[in-house]
Amino acid sequence: MNWQGPPPPIDRRAHGPGILHLGIGAFHRAHQAVYTHEALARYGGDWLIRGASTRSDEVRTRLAAQDFLYTNWTRSTDRNEAQVIASLHSVLSTAHHGADAIIGAIADPATRIVSLTITEKGYCANQAGALDETHPDILADLTQPAPRSAIGYLVRGLSARKAGGGAPLTVLSCDNMADNGALTRAVTRDLAAALAPAALAWIDDNVTFPSTMVDRIVPAVTEADLAAFAAAFGYRDEALVIGEAWSQWVIEDDFAADRPAWESAGAQLVDDVTPYEVAKLRLLNASHSACAYLGLLAGHEYVHEAIADPAIHAFILELMAREVTPTLAPLPDTDLAAYRAAIIERFSNAAVPYRTAQVATDGSQKLPQRLLPVVAQRLAEGQPVDLCAEVIGAWCACIEHVQTLNDPMLERLRAAVSSGGAMGLLAVEPVFGELGQHAGFAAAVAAAYARHR
Ligand code: CS2
């Protein structure tokens, strides 16, 4: 239709849809959709992606205006490449098509994979890894016919799928959480038990939930990026995504039906994703959050500026080497020292500027995945946690001082810090659980907070 860029290398008319993706944001379009594009280009098959947006119509509008084509712009010091991606079939949005269109696409037997990038908070899970039945979206799902949460869509879609013949399905979580497959299964089963109990046994027998580790730094695209891209490549792309050259996808090989030949595009299919996911969360994501909170306090707008600050640079090296790495299992075929060095280099990539404020969002959801398990494991082993405590102290100071901070628990966090300082924050049970009561950890966090506030 209105696509201004080079013609796509794939003729999409020759392929049908096979994947329904919930959460069609920049990360998905710069990661899974690229692997799918490359697998389609090599091996074909009915693997086009129908994206779904349950919150806003914006991505659908932008993509629909350019026939669901867009560019993956890869940038680093030695790469500057624009790749037209043609793995999207369409985008369904609740605002435009209604909730039933998305539920129907999950139920459609042509769909063999439902994948998700809905961020940590989208799972509506509690500390114990079960469904948070007090979550407002879940309360809405339990009382209203139209789903509110992504898990609500999934459960209604699975129930309709069972009713429509029950073709097996793979549900593939692609969010940054340890054991994301098991967590997705748990919250799905919990909600199904309440909403669609008759589908529960069918889900157990016919739906698999492989875990994945996803990794590529993909910042939010700005108006200035769109203009810079147009100036460099000669066409405007309103759905452009920008990412670094590094891209990794490790997938547990547990599919209920077929799947695209993602390994042909570099994905690793393995029996156990856990060591990869844990290493990535604790080394990359925890360091990213540390750069964000320490960086914000030091006045750095971008991660590459924060990591160029000698004090922050030295801190991140120490955090990874001294406190995080000793908690990790060996990674097959990976030298952890080289992996850490690559992380520093990736953070330093000024060609993909990533706002500290963007990484700093949703700390209440992210830190329990990326940093607090390090604290728990080290305390259980009687090891020091001062560097981890430094990050929590910095987060505490950001809660107090950074007006633009975004977090679904912001009000509660602010109230806790303003009435009780670091101790108040540590008492926020859904974030810290029992860790907040550990005297040594609490003292270290309080000392760090006092330095940063
Ligand atoms: C980041 C991640 O914003 C954040 O929380 O830490 O999005 C990070 O860029 C990706 O996980 C990299 O794979």
452 Cβ closer than 6 Å to some ligand 1 atom: no
Distance of CA 241 to the CA centre of its chain: 15
Tokens of 264: 């042909």
pLDDT of residue 272: 96
Closest ligand 1 atom to residue 218 Cα is 9
CA dist 384 and 347 (Å) reads 26
Whose CA is closest to atom 8 on ligand 1? Answer: 217
Domains in the chain with CATH codes: 12-270 (3.40.50.720), 274-452 (1.10.1040.10)
pLDDT of residue 1: 56
CA dihedral (435, 436, 441, 446) in degrees, to 10, reads: 160
CA–centroid distance, residue 98 to ligand 1 (Å): 31
pLDDT of residue 103: 98
Q: What one-character DSSP code corresponds to residue 281?
A: I
- Which of 213, 217, 248, 277 maximizes ligand 1 atoms within 8 Å of its Cβ, making it the mutation to test the pocket? 217
pLDDT of residue 333: 87
CA–centroid distance, residue 366 to ligand 1 (Å): 10
Sheet of 17-22: strands edge to edge?
88-93, 48-53, 17-22, 113-116, 169-173, 207-208
Tokens of 123: 């799972």
- Quick one: the chain helix, strand, coil %, rounded to 5? 55, 15, 35
215 Cβ closer than 6 Å to some ligand 1 atom: yes
Whose CA is closest to atom 13 on ligand 1? Answer: 215
- Specify whether the CB–CB gap between 372 and 395 falls below 8 A: no
Whose CA is closest to atom 5 on ligand 1? Answer: 359
Indicate the pairing of strand 88-93 with strand 207-208: unpaired
Whose CA is closest to atom 3 on ligand 1? Answer: 359
pLDDT of residue 357: 98
pLDDT of residue 332: 86
346 Cβ closer than 6 Å to some ligand 1 atom: no
359 Cβ closer than 6 Å to some ligand 1 atom: yes
- Which of 285, 302, 358, 398 maximizes ligand 1 atoms within 8 Å of its Cβ, making it the mutation to test the pocket? 285
CA dihedral (419, 421, 424, 428) in degrees, to 10, reads: 120
CA dist 306 and 290 (Å) reads 10
- Specify whether the CB–CB gap between 48 and 67 falls below 8 A: no
323 Cβ closer than 6 Å to some ligand 1 atom: no
CA–centroid distance, residue 217 to ligand 1 (Å): 6
SS3 at position 115:
strand
The residue with tokens 């000024």 is 350
Closest ligand 1 atom to residue 285 Cα is 6
The pLDDT profile of the chain, 453 residues, written as one tens digit per residue, is 589 999 999 999 999 999 999 999 999 999 999 999 999 999 999 999 999 999 999 999 999 999 999 999 999 989 999 999 999 999 999 999 999 999 999 999 999 999 999 999 999 999 899 999 999 999 999 999 899 999 999 999 999 999 999 999 999 999 999 999 999 999 999 999 999 999 999 999 999 999 999 999 999 999 999 999 999 999 999 999 999 999 999 999 999 999 999 999 999 999 999 999 999 999 999 999 999 999 999 999 999 999 999 999 999 999 999 999 999 999 988 999 999 999 999 999 999 999 999 999 999 999 999 999 999 999 999 999 999 999 999 999 999 999 999 999 999 999 999 999 999 999 999 999 999 999 999 999 999 999 999
217 Cβ closer than 6 Å to some ligand 1 atom: yes
pLDDT of residue 104: 98
CA dist 411 and 281 (Å) reads 26
268 Cβ closer than 6 Å to some ligand 1 atom: no
- Specify whether the CB–CB gap between 99 and 153 falls below 8 A: yes
Residue by residue, DSSP assigns 45-113 as -S-EEEEEESS-SHHHHHHHTTTT-EEEEEESSS-EEEEEE--EEEEEEHHHH-HHHHHHHHH-TT--E
Tokens of 191: 């909600």
Strands in 117-230 per DSSP E: 169-173, 207-208, 212-215
